Structure 1
Amino acid sequence: MKECFRIPTTGAFGDPIDENPSGAMMEAGFRSTGLNWRYQLFRVAACDLQDGLDGIRALGFSGLNLTIPHKITAVSYMEGLSESAALIGAINTILVKEGKLHGENTDGKGFVIGLRENGIFLAGKRLVILGAGGAARAISVECALAGAVHLTIINRTEEKGRELAALITENTSCTAEFIKWVEKVSIPACDILVNATNIGLYPDKSLPDIDYDTINQNMVVQDIITNPAYTPFLQKAGERGAHILDGQSMLIYQGALAVELWTGRKPDPEAMRMALIESFT
């Protein structure tokens, strides 16, 4: 006779969250390890984050992902942080262990793995990052640690942009600078341009306000948005001849790292990829 009918539960907090396609992908990851775990999406407003985190502890969740707008705010509620999460100052993954919340960040690592799987290696590369929020911080730190030589942070809020540039310069061997995001800001010479904002996330069809004439065929341009996969930003970059990458690779690999953290088992990224593709059909 089966001894336990309780199914381990994980999920994600965000606002908005309805357009997030990660549920089917994450459960495919669990199945690929032989585990019957669940992953649910929860719309949690910024003002309700503490109550939500108390809830997952009380309900015995095994883990949680965080998306906009919680990645930075949630740090202060953790009882433990990984070394990289402490450096980044933002988390996207929580491990619940013996009733305590431990914060980790798999965003940047997933981004780096996704680039590598597409044949792009960061050693010696110059990057421009649009945004300075939680995802931008994770991507910037992990790219710097992976060998990037220079980062340019473009952000509307000067304080946050300068803080991120200083974080990179002071804690890695990579140099960094800040550029104020003004109307039709020019993109400086770089190898990789990343939109790390939520501009263009479904149902929003707007474009990051940059000078698209400064994008060229020698650049790799990636959007971290996954819905839609082919954003207006990527369409414009593709028209300029750039090599474009959507946000699905980052989503898959950050998710795979989270599954491994929670379960101790390595999931099959290809199974997760197929589930993600099917969720859009």
Structure 2
Amino acid sequence: MTKPLNFKQELTCVFGQPVAENPTQCMIEAAYQACGLEWRYLTIEVAPENLEQAVEGLRAMGFRGANLTIPHKVEVIQYLDGISDAAAMMGAVNCIVRQGDHLLGDNTDGKGFVQSLKEVTDPQGKKIVMFGAGGAARAIGVETALAGAAEITIVNRSAERGAALVKLLNEKTEVRTRFELWDGDFTLADDVDVVINATSIGLYPDVDAVFPLDFSSLKPNMIISDVIPNPPETHLLREAAKIGCPTLDGLGMLVNQGVIGFQLWTGVDPDPKVMRAALEEVFGV
């Protein structure tokens, strides 16, 4: 007997720029299938001038939630019924969750990174050096601070943006934060515990981009992480591995933020291994 079609599927989506094959869509839908959920995760291109109508469309069509990418993470806040404390600190939302008649915003970027980091070490009490001061850096900075990091050094080419992130972290969290200008190959202090690349250096298609770091200053006890998921193995991670440093690729952060969003939408705990396998298939790992 032919199985009857079920048209009453729950829906989640991502608002952002179009891609030929959305890795997050592949990851989330693989998790839905593995959990036996008849849900769909749709990729929807939304122009900035149509964002308000798109959010109202979520309400009208009963979507359970959404992700957002650039350029919507800040502008969407004004159209939501509330946001989490962490999202308010960052000033950006990448995840919308329906609770009753309300659409609430959260930011899973930093949470996903911290969860990935905790698989190797607890960030509490650690000295962190983070390259970059954009949206990913803001999210990671806030969440590592809230997780109890002892000290964060922001390294950035733009002094203005770097100083702004330092000011945010010093005013909104209890972590000691300072800024260093990124001019040439950066040299790490001997007591650094965790190094984070929160920039786009090495992101596809510039996969051969050389990371501006004095690699002789790396020590085998330093944990080196990169938020770039494509390619999973960047120049920074390759060079760090040669020295014997533990490394974290961007797939871990992407999986963990996907897990958090999945739990918020469905109330179900997905299998991270299924989600990572889906991403590895997309990226040909």
Question: Taking structure 1 as the reference length, what is the TM-score of the superposition?
Answer: 0.87
Equivalence for 1:83: 85
Aligned identity (percent) is 45
**Range that drifts further, 149-158 or 209-218:** 209-218
Aligned partners of 1:199, 1:43: CA distance in 2, in Å? 26
Q: Deviations over 1:11-66 (max 9, x none)?
A: 22334744642222111222333311111334445565445444444444321112
Q: Deviations over 1:69-100 (max 9, x none)?
A: 43334334432101221122222211144564
The residue type equivalent to 2:117 in the other structure is: L
Superposed CA offset, 1:91-119 (max 9, x none): 221114456432101121221111222x3
* 8 A Cα contact 1:18 1:43, kept in partner: no
Cα distance between partner residues in 1 of 2:46 and 2:234: 25
Please give the secondary structure, in 1, of the residue aligned with 2:125: coil
1:169 is matched with 170
**How far, CA to CA, are the matches of 1:59 and 1:259 in structure 2?**
19
Output the CA distance in 1 between the equivalents of 2:247 and 2:85.
32
Alignment partner, residue 223 of structure 1: 226
Q: 1:14–1:42: 8 Å Cα contact kept in structure 2?
A: yes
Task: Give the Å deviation of 1:143.
Answer: 1.0
Residue 185 of structure 2 corresponds to which residue in structure 1?
Answer: 184
Rate the CA distance shift 1:100–1:115 in 2: closer, same or farther, 3 A.
Answer: same
Relative to structure 1, the CA distance from residue 121 to residue 221 in structure 2 (aligned partners, 3 Å threshold; closer, same or farther) is: same
- Does the alignment pair 1:158 with 2:159? yes
Aligned-partner residue type, residue 9 of structure 1: L
In the other structure, the counterpart of 1:7 is 9
Q: Deviations over 1:163-194 (max 9, x none)?
A: 22122222322100112222333334411111
The aligned amino acid for 2:277 is: M
Q: Secondary structure at the match of 1:236?
A: helix
Q: Say if 1:20 and 1:203 are closer, same or farther in 2 by CA, change over 3 A.
A: farther
Amino acid at match of 2:270: P
SS of the residue 2:232 aligns to: coil
Distance change in 2, residues 1:74/1:136 (3 Å) = farther
Q: Which residue of 2 aligns with 1:95?
A: 97
Q: CA separation of 1:195/1:105 partners in 2, compared to 1, >3 Å: closer, same or farther? A: same
Match of 1:23? Answer: 25
Which amino acid in 1 is paired with 2:29? Answer: E
Q: How does 1:1-281 map to 2 (within 5 A)?
A: 5-15=7-17, 17-18=19-20, 20-44=22-46, 49-50=51-52, 52-97=54-99, 100-117=102-119, 119-189=120-190, 190-205=192-207, 206-281=209-284
How many residues get paired? 280
Whether the aligned pair in 1 keeps the contact of 2:115 and 2:253 (CA below 8 Å) is yes
Tell me, in whole angstroms, the C-alpha distance in 2 between the residues paired with 1:254 and 1:15.
Answer: 19
Gaps of 5+ in 2: none
Of structures 1 and 2, the larger Rg is shown by 2
1:209 is displaced (CA, Å) by: 3.1
TM-score (norm 2): 0.86
> What is the alpha-carbon distance in structure 2 between the residues aligned to residue 238 and residue 188 of structure 1?
19
Relative to structure 1, the CA distance from residue 151 to residue 85 in structure 2 (aligned partners, 3 Å threshold; closer, same or farther) is: same
CA distance in 2 between partners of 1:99 and 1:43 (Å): 24
C-alpha distance in structure 2 between counterparts of 1:194 and 1:182, whole Å: 17
C-alpha spacing 1:233/1:87, structure 2 compared with 1 (3 Å)? same
* 8 A contact 2:74–2:91 mirrored in 1: yes
Q: Is the Cα–Cα contact under 8 Å of residues 19 and 202 in structure 1 kept in the other structure?
A: no
Q: What's the RMSD between the two structures over aligned residues?
A: 2.6
